[in-house]
Structure 1
Amino acid sequence: MSKIKTFCFSLVAFSCIGLVGYGQGKKSKGDDYFFQYQYGQAVMAYESEMLKGTLTPEQFLNLAEAYFNIDNFQKASETYFELYEKEIPMGNHHFNKMLQSLSMTSSKNRIEAILATKFSNFETEFMENLEFNNQLLNGANSISETEFKIFNLNGNSPQSDFSPSFHSDKLLFSSGRSQDKKFRYVPTGEGYLNIYEGELSSDGQINAAMPFTGIPSSNYHKATPFYSEKLESIFYVLSNTQNGELAFDSNGKNSLAVGMQIKNGPHRMLLKDLSTSFYYPFYDEESEKLYFSANFDYGYGGTDIYYVHTNKGQIMSAPINLGPRINSPGNEIAPYLFDDSFYFSSDVFYGLGGMDIYKSNIEGDTFSIPVNLGQGVNSSKDDFGLIIRDHEEGMLGYFASNRLGGKGNDDLYGFKVDKKPGLKTLIFKGRVVKTNDPGEAVERAEVRLLGLEGNLLSETFTATDGTYRMEIPWTNELKLVTNKDRYSFKEKYFSEEELDALEGNNTDVSISAYDDLVEEKENQKVVKLNEFFFARSRTQLTPEITQELDKVVAFVKEFPQAQLRIETHTDSRGGSSTNFRLTQGRSDAVKDYLIGKGVPAGNILYSIGYGEDKILNNCTNGVYCLEFLHKQNQRTLIVVLNDNLMFD
């Protein structure tokens, strides 16, 4: 596939600039060859021009890319890195190719050093994707959720066969096999792309592949079909033409458009721009969104994935980029949705090599971190265009690859599986709420996943609605830790069995706000309790009293570092010594109850009866007072002695 690595997959190499060469602005023989995809000849021409000292920085970039496209990764990495050291501007697409070529030459340390200096240049989501996939692919616990056997399709040809699509009990696909020798695509030496159809057999193979006749005929490219059963329509890409001939923009570029053919109905051109190529349309019947790849200048890298809103396929909005969670400095193509999973292909440098297939979970309007599907589906070569559907008691899927052992440039491969393919991961998601008010969310709470040795696996902060989400490579056991300043600290251990049962379920966490549970009384911080009273001259706890003391039990459970003093007071009626004994007995009864309910004795530093020493009003000895005024002096306080130290 080296001759068509301009965008790292078959279709793009067939599409751009076409038969007229470089068009306007021709500068050198090297440019002529480069823009006609003749990369071997471009290298020789550029090297000759380099000896004469006539290469511009743009041509040096072309030379680096030409080396890359003929698989001379050593030369590509050296040329790209020389340009990088000289601070020659290069876009994200070239930056990705530089890192790809460095990865092909085992220059991992150099890649890490470059990324460290360029960290601020990348979106946060991209760096998270990078770190996660590096952990996933290199970790000891990286295991596949599925076991499956991949088989090469009998219907493959010596030419490029790719972009499979289900069409009822048939399989549509794109192919460069020639039907008319008069019309051949010069850069590849193959025929113009056409769409073929083969009957699916019970073993997943295809029989008697023939040109698909359900779209208008053309002498030029027709490729990457997608069939919508609901609309009874085929979406596909085709060469821009005018009066039956290729149409070019002012720079001599012929690009690809997206068309829609309704069964027994009209043909529509949906996306067309002579300077922009569109690839791999996918129509989501539920949302009516039309997804596709395009090489707009304002993307994140080479080709990005976009969508437009439609009304039964008719375009109703401008293209919307899926953003940096999906799109990278490389090329992203071949979107496909199945069972709340978003599949696509990317040649981002941290993959297994070339183009790899990734899966992202769809959660409302957002996507999870895309996960490399790992060895098997992916290889060190280009793997792209995965489709999958339910089949018998499992699933049937197809994709394209130029891996070793195939019949042609790109071959179609099938697979049967019991579960969706992919490396096994763990998803923790849910809400953090207040313990005493589960309806109130806790925002900016820190949520961490820790290994049993305390090593950090992942961390995040809750959103304004208290929600959080983390995804990590599979591990057999871990701890979930949640905390926030002046809130309680929560830690929960999960065993392998509990993690297995977690799939798809929320893990909500409740934490307590310290300031909700304490208040200021008598110039000291005390646990917030409703008023309660002992019976006259009694030390026994009533149900009303224990109901309030249970709040102290819960408080200590939430804040086990709290150091308490139990202090009980009474009014001035009765003898002074009797009142001391009475309040001491009441404090001791409270202490015994709390310890009996699980409060560690070490948390209760003092248990004191103050008798009538601390009267709050004028109801002292010999003063007549109403009952409610005397009751103001009958109180038990649970004082937090280390209040000023608990959150230092």
Structure 2
Amino acid sequence: MRFSNLYLLLLFIPSLCFAQQKRSKGDIAFFEYSYRTAIEEYQKEQIKGALTNQQYLNLADSYLRMSNYKNAAKIYVDIFKKDTIMSPSHFNRLLQSIAKTSGMEEVKTFLSDNNSVFSGELLENAEFNYELLQSKSKPAPNYGLFNVSANSSQGDFSPAFFYDKVLFSSGRPRGSKKVYNPSGEAFFNIYEAEVDSKGDLNAVKEFEGLMDSPFHKSTPYYAAELDRIFYSLSNADGEQLLFSDKGKNAMSIGMSSGVDSHTYILRDLDTSFHYPFYEGATGRLFFAANFDDSYGGTDLYYVHTNNGIIMSSPVNLGPRINTPGNEIAPFIFDNTLYFASDVFYGLGGMDIYRSNLQENDNFSIPVNLGSAINSAEDDFGMIIKLDESKGFVGYFASNRSGGKGNDDIYGFHMDEKPGLKTLALKGAIKKPNDGVGIDGAVISLLDNEGTIIKEVIADRDGNYELEIPWRDNVILKAIKERYSTYKQQFDAASLDTVDTAKFNLEMVSIDDIVTEHEEQNVIKLNKFFFNKGKYNVTPEISRELDKVVAAINSFPELQLKIESHTDSRGSNRYNINLSNRRSDAIKDYLMQEGVPENNIIESVGYGEEQLLNNCKNGVFCLEMLHNRNERTNIIILNYNELFGLK
């Protein structure tokens, strides 16, 4: 892991100047980014006397920046045991160091032993991505990465689409003698490049569409809906940098429609704002910032705007996206958020992740894009679009080995969206007849042994979304009290034939198929009649009995009793025999249609023994009154055992 990325220096330690107070030589070197010198000075000071816990953390950070992970890990762990001033960012660096020195399994053990320290979302994210990165079931796709011609020997990063061109940030010289001290290079500026037929970037020139400034201008985003450019820039008054009372010179976000049009959108001398992204469909402006209430270092936020003018307070994207590490560079494409994070469970440095946007501004588990995109170094600032002739094309920045400068821009093209293959199921659980959503249903993905891999609860409209690292064989199961159980097994071939983005399920409510009749719980059927003196199942009767078949398919644990009754016309013996034959005929039909015999506990005919009215032998009754007594009930014998009293 390297932290040589020039732009990230602005994120990790945003202070270019510090308040006037007594600091040691180690402190001074540390805050000037001179990590090697800071280590030397802190070691001298340690001999003379004990360092403060904060200085020990500065020393650990310095070791980490210099890739001395063993010494960094030892100090972080020692400070952690004291349970004093460990910030979320330091927890992340602690785990990064353990990963480098002892490996992934040691990190997992640390997380397990200290799970109360970390949020449930972080633990779930880590478990998911560890399994994903270790999975070998699907080969990583080839994205045709190429280092663009526009790169220089300085840092080049933060690409952005601009009409048929690409804007980007760079630390290349531009005539001014002003130098950004931590990098020794020029202050960042924004450039534009032509895009050739192969997607390469060339014919670079300084972008002239923004007001001039001798200080930082970087991370542009062109909002086509507004015909405006959002970008980050140093807080300055002409030729003079502005510092807060705390000694910080932070970055702001501005909006511009030309050299004579500039509006500060987000500005606070103690807070740095970076990587604006404008979502045209909602008017939200996403960005990265290092507010004091972040989950770690730099978090992702959004604000609501009216044509780019801020109309709300910043909203943190929450612990599903933001971690104890640093999150930057939000970009939304096709309902998917792409962003970069240096959280400990990545491949190293900054990695690029994707997360699906869900209902109510929620996000799915972030998915590492894998080694086809990410490296052991810093990878960040991905942009992507769909080209009708080339497929998916885009760019991102990386300081991986083999480049031309500190950070280089890389292009890619592919037939599918980037990312390691996962299994994502999304849809709704509804009742089959009226389409009403079933809220509160528990939906699970299980392996072949029945072990739960992932479990979610449907929302009030029955919507659900599941995503796991790819598996060739899974079982999908949905349950809710008083509803049928949905269960289906999938293999790789069957998953390729279903629309996993609209995978709707149906579950039957027992209350929709059962009613109380004659003080018994019976399957709800329209009344039907056998032909006079007959016991054969007619098409009319079969349509009703098919509801019984469906009930058993939905609730295979039901135990049935078939009861047939006649009216009083005819002899008692004749009516007993006729009703028994009718019950047996119903049983035979149900079994022919797939109802197991052990579901039918009894089939019996009562003849005229259980009349519902006074139409006995010798009593004159209208036909409609006799018909009340001729009936069939399909009784659920174990209803109370299964579902309790109604």
| TM-score, structure 1 normalization | 0.93
Aligned pair partner of 1:492 in 485, 488, 498: 488
Give the match for residue 407 of structure 2. 410
> Secondary structure of the residue that 1:31 maps to in structure 2?
helix
Q: For 2:5 and 2:258, how far apart are their aligned partners in 1?
A: 35
The alpha carbon displacement at 1:430 in A equals 1.1
Q: Deviation digits for residues 96-143 of structure 1, max 9, x if unmatched?
A: 111111111124344223322443444443333222212211112244
Q: Any conservation in 1 of the 2:325–2:344 contact (CA below 8 Å)? A: yes
Aligned pair partner of 2:426 in 429, 437, 447: 429
Give the match for residue 313 of structure 2. 318
Do structure 1's residue 212 and structure 2's residue 207 form an aligned pair?
Answer: yes
The alpha carbon displacement at 1:363 in A equals 4.0
Q: For 2:523 and 2:201, how far apart are their aligned partners in 1?
A: 74
Bigger shift: residues 418-427 or 360-369 = 360-369
Letter in 1 for 2:401: L
Q: Any conservation in 1 of the 2:211–2:260 contact (CA below 8 Å)? A: no
Letter in 1 for 2:295: Y
Q: Any conservation in 1 of the 2:3–2:378 contact (CA below 8 Å)? A: no
Do structure 1's residue 236 and structure 2's residue 234 form an aligned pair?
Answer: no
Aligned pair partner of 1:261 in 256, 262, 273: 256
Give the match for residue 445 of structure 1. 441
Give the match for residue 526 of structure 2. 530
The alpha carbon displacement at 1:243 in A equals 4.2
Q: Any conservation in 2 of the 1:481–1:491 contact (CA below 8 Å)? A: yes
Give the match for residue 514 of structure 1. 510
Q: Deviation digits for residues 127-183 of structure 1, max 9, x if unmatched?
A: 332222122111122443x42221222332222221122233433222222334631
> Secondary structure of the residue that 2:608 maps to in structure 1?
coil
The aligned length equals: 642
The alpha carbon displacement at 1:303 in A equals 0.6
The alpha carbon displacement at 1:333 in A equals 0.5
The alpha carbon displacement at 1:276 in A equals 0.3
> Secondary structure of the residue that 2:38 maps to in structure 1?
helix
Q: Any conservation in 1 of the 2:192–2:205 contact (CA below 8 Å)? A: yes
Bigger shift: residues 521-530 or 547-556 = 521-530
Q: For 1:552 and 1:193, how far apart are their aligned partners in 2?
A: 73
Give the match for residue 585 of structure 1. 581
Q: For 1:226 and 1:214, how far apart are their aligned partners in 2?
A: 12
Give the match for residue 162 of structure 2. 167
Aligned pair partner of 1:16 in 4, 14, 28: 14
Q: For 1:208 and 1:595, how far apart are their aligned partners in 2?
A: 78
Give the match for residue 112 of structure 1. 108
The alpha carbon displacement at 1:629 in A equals 4.3
> Secondary structure of the residue that 2:639 maps to in structure 1?
coil
Give the match for residue 194 of structure 2. 199
Q: For 2:299 and 2:148, how far apart are their aligned partners in 1?
A: 29
| TM-score, structure 2 normalization | 0.93
Letter in 1 for 2:464: Y
> Secondary structure of the residue that 2:174 maps to in structure 1?
coil
Letter in 2 for 1:546: S
The alpha carbon displacement at 1:5 in A equals 6.8
Aligned pair partner of 2:42 in 26, 39, 46: 46
Q: For 1:25 and 1:502, how far apart are their aligned partners in 2?
A: 65
The alpha carbon displacement at 1:354 in A equals 0.6
Residue segments in structure 2 that go unaligned for 5+ positions in a row: none
Do structure 1's residue 86 and structure 2's residue 85 form an aligned pair?
Answer: no
The alpha carbon displacement at 1:373 in A equals 0.8
Do structure 1's residue 132 and structure 2's residue 131 form an aligned pair?
Answer: no
CA distance 1:4–1:499, change in 2 (3 Å): same
Give the match for residue 388 of structure 1. 384
Q: Root-mean-square deviation (CA), in Å?
A: 2.5
Q: Any conservation in 2 of the 1:141–1:473 contact (CA below 8 Å)? A: no
> Secondary structure of the residue that 2:230 maps to in structure 1?
strand
CA distance 1:278–1:629, change in 2 (3 Å): same
Q: Any conservation in 2 of the 1:142–1:473 contact (CA below 8 Å)? A: no
Q: Any conservation in 1 of the 2:390–2:413 contact (CA below 8 Å)? A: no
Residue pairs, 1:475-486, within 5 angstroms? 475-486=471-482
Letter in 2 for 1:12: L
Q: Any conservation in 2 of the 1:10–1:160 contact (CA below 8 Å)? A: no
Q: Any conservation in 2 of the 1:236–1:258 contact (CA below 8 Å)? A: yes
Runs in 1 of length 4+ with deviation above 6 angstroms? none
The alpha carbon displacement at 1:279 in A equals 0.8
Do structure 1's residue 151 and structure 2's residue 151 form an aligned pair?
Answer: no
The alpha carbon displacement at 1:523 in A equals 4.2
Q: Any conservation in 2 of the 1:16–1:254 contact (CA below 8 Å)? A: yes
Give the match for residue 571 of structure 1. 567
Q: For 2:211 and 2:223, how far apart are their aligned partners in 1?
A: 17
CA distance 1:232–1:490, change in 2 (3 Å): closer
Q: Percent identity?
A: 49
Aligned pair partner of 2:293 in 289, 292, 298: 298
Letter in 2 for 1:9: L
Q: For 2:227 and 2:506, how far apart are their aligned partners in 1?
A: 50
> Secondary structure of the residue that 2:132 maps to in structure 1?
helix
Q: Any conservation in 2 of the 1:3–1:38 contact (CA below 8 Å)? A: no
CA distance 1:533–1:232, change in 2 (3 Å): closer
Q: Any conservation in 2 of the 1:36–1:187 contact (CA below 8 Å)? A: yes
Q: Any conservation in 1 of the 2:111–2:123 contact (CA below 8 Å)? A: no
Q: For 2:626 and 2:194, how far apart are their aligned partners in 1?
A: 94
Aligned pair partner of 2:332 in 334, 337, 362: 337
The alpha carbon displacement at 1:619 in A equals 4.3
CA distance 1:589–1:504, change in 2 (3 Å): closer
Q: For 1:10 and 1:203, how far apart are their aligned partners in 2?
A: 33
